[in-house]
Homo-oligomer: A and B are copies of this chain.
């Protein structure tokens, strides 16, 4: 069978920290669009959308092992994507199926770790949403907010990195539940979208605030019931000073800390005693059994226009490295996606 050319984005060196464009290179390989007979349980896919996510950092020596790692030198980057099945030796997938899960940054991929693949049933929503709102980040928001945060109607909710792929949904779920929601983001434009498009009760640009404790006291005169933490560091310090009794801090990430040689000491941790605070870090991988329930909840909201989502779609795999760098520097104007092919 004829070989096809297969454009790939590969890491060119060991990456320590947040990747930048020059850490990656575009190469062209070739691939046969048919699995060999011995490739049992493997799937060959055409990648349609690739996802840029904050976990896609390089490693530092002290890093703890991850579920998977994105940047092996000279190999295509590993990450989430939306794909169409071209050939399958796996009984659960057939040619033409649309799936999302862990794939590689190239036009065509052979996926052997098929456990991470979810078949896409609802195709009357944008397919790219399965990299964000309806994929891993969406499930992160859903599991973290409902399962870890244990929200009640009327709760005061603070979301950091609220414009991010996870934060967008956390805020909207909280509003739909009847909570008061304030989000922080890194630009005035993002703040406006949080308030005007996502319906947050308040939002602020953390880069313009001199004293985050005072900022939170301004937005939360009664204190915070749930802080959905994506950043850690100074924002966490300020939140610890403003939690209400029996408040919950849901920790999805601490992106402010990963690039530091030594993480910042959190001085206000002792406050958890005085207010009986719970701080719980979680991973979405422990909650995927809720994925069907999640879709049943969120898909109707999308169709009714009650949940919306902002994406920043870079067109063409060759623009992947720039898109990934943009996500890490906060320049993306929404959940950062790379469009590889429309179908």
User: Contacts A251-B272, A251-B273, A273-B251 known; A267 to B278 CB distance under 8 Å?
Assistant: no
Give Cα A283–Cα B64 distance, bound, in whole angstroms: 33
B267 and A272: CB pair below 8 A?
Answer: no
A278 and B276: CB pair below 8 A?
Answer: no
- Copy count, this protein chain: 2
Kindly state the interface size class of chain A when it binds its partner: 20 to 34
Give Cα A232–Cα B64 distance, bound, in whole angstroms: 24
A289 within 8 A of B: no
Give Cα A24–Cα B270 distance, bound, in whole angstroms: 28
Encode contact with B along A253-288: 1 for CB under 8 Å, 0 otherwise.
110011000111111111111111111111100100
Q: Which residues of B contact A281 (CB under 8 A)?
A: 272-273, 275-278
Give Cα A282–Cα B263 distance, bound, in whole angstroms: 26
User: Contacts A64-B275, A264-B265, A275-B64 known; A232 to B280 CB distance under 8 Å?
Assistant: no
Q: What are 7 A-to-B residue pairs whose CB atoms are below 8 Å?
A: A64-B271, A246-B286, A263-B270, A264-B267, A266-B266, A266-B267, A279-B280
Q: List A residues at the B interface (Cβ < 8 Å).
A: 64, 232, 246, 251, 253-254, 257-258, 262-283, 286
